[in-house]
Amino acid sequence: MSGIPSGGRDVAVVLGTRPEIIKLAPLIRLLGERARIVHTGQHYDSSLSGTFFANFGLPRPHLLLDGATGPWGRGDQIGSLTSELARAFVADPPRAVVVQGDTNSTSAGAQAAHYCGIPVVHVEAGLRSGDRAMPEEINRLVVGVLADVHCAATDRAAANLLATGTAPERIRVTGNTVVEATLMSLPAPGERDRIAREHGAHGPFVLATVHRPENTDGAERLRALLTALAGIGERVVMPLHPRTRAKAKQFGLDGLLDRLDVIEPVDHPTFLTLADRARLLVSDSGGVQEEATVLKKPLLVVRTSTERPEAVAAGFSRLVEPGRPLLDAARAALDDPDLHARLAGTASPYGDGSASRQIHALATALADRAPLPGAVPVR
């Protein structure tokens, strides 16, 4: 555990993965001197994570944990992070703790704060897939019990919370911070041209990302996915996640990767530039499901279930299985001459870009023990 003095930073923002940095960056900037950035180290990389902080003009974390990495699995990681965070909160208590989404860091941050008697704000609350085999679903359920203020991105997410007995006065529908984070991180047109040239993003291409265990940890499923991508008939650019690279090598699938335009992982502005220039996105990422609605891009979600049905209902996303279903869906999307025009005229279901401002008002009110602003969802 390492850190710098927190001073008057009384709103602790706990994060541990790059998507959390992206989605919480606008809020951290609004909190200013009140923000205490606590990085659990869950996915910490001094170069890439540092780049993400720099991209958004954020200071380095005020507290950095070691991430509790080891061979003992998820339970050990959450337990160790909860313990470390609890010790930090006892030594220097914040007045409120903000967690985001559904990572192990989210669960640990909410637990540690609750056990220390510190109120918790959950950003992106109320997502539900109904799939208890999904580790993130369990994290969502745990934080749903512990949070004092639930910032739901959509009415549907608020309804999920109400259905499980969450008191309406603790819920606010704020929209999703991904809208302003995406617009903040998307480079200007001239810079996008430069990034595209640098990465050879010329001509038509498909952008694909794969990293979830359900797609990478079984040889047959990963083979079916990569085979379908290789058979689309259009160039596929794939920033390759370390997990996917390792599993492809383990399963002897390097030859399929050779048929794709594999590149190293990229920072957020570069990824958004590539997504903006692509004809089609293929991904198993939760964040990409949301970003696609801001960029107005069609997305094939290679997963068995999704906690973001709003993107599907709006027409941006389609849930597909790897193999032939993915291949057929990709070809159908690429052959649809009206698809991009339809999406260009469709509003993102995740709000108007004011989520961070609303969450800032809620978090500071909670820290100041003041009444919570905003409308309460109707039961």
pLDDT in tens, 161-181: 999 999 999 999 999 999 999
Same domain as 329, residue 357: no
Q: Is position 65 within any domain?
A: yes
Q: Classify residue 372 as left (phi > 0), alpha (psi -120 to 50) or beta.
A: beta
- Residues 236-253 pLDDT 10s: 999 999 889 999 999 999
Same domain as 141, residue 68: yes
Q: Is position 40 within any domain?
A: yes
Secondary structure letter of residue 332 according to DSSP: H
| Domain extent for 207 | 188-344
Same domain as 316, residue 249: yes
Token digits of residue 333: 């999307």
Phi, psi for residue 247 in degrees, rounded to 5:
-70, -40
CATH number of 144's domain: 3.40.50.2000
Same domain as 139, residue 251: no
- Please give the pLDDT value at position 3: 58
- Tell me the CA distances in angstroms from 263 to 44, 54, 221, 242, one per residue in order: 20, 22, 22, 11
Same domain as 149, residue 77: yes
160 has a pLDDT exceeding 90: yes
Same domain as 72, residue 52: yes
Q: Is position 331 within any domain?
A: yes
Q: Is position 54 within any domain?
A: yes
Same domain as 196, residue 132: no
Token digits of residue 206: 């498909």
Same domain as 43, residue 172: yes
Q: What is the mean pLDDT of residues 115-133?
A: 96
Domain count across the chain: 2
CA 209, CA 123: separation in Å to the nearest integer?
A: 24
Q: Is position 211 within any domain?
A: yes
Residue 197: how many CB atoms within 10 A of its CB?
Answer: 10
CA 287, CA 157: separation in Å to the nearest integer?
A: 16
Active-site residue list: 211
Q: What is the mean pLDDT of residues 274-295?
A: 97
Q: Is position 329 within any domain?
A: yes
Residue listed under structure tokens 């919480």: 24
CA 149, CA 22: separation in Å to the nearest integer?
A: 21
- Please give the pLDDT value at position 328: 97
Same domain as 200, residue 172: no
5 has a pLDDT exceeding 60: no
* Bridge partner list, 35: 11
Same domain as 243, residue 171: no
Token digits of residue 64: 């950095």
- Residues 30-43 pLDDT 10s: 999 999 999 998 87
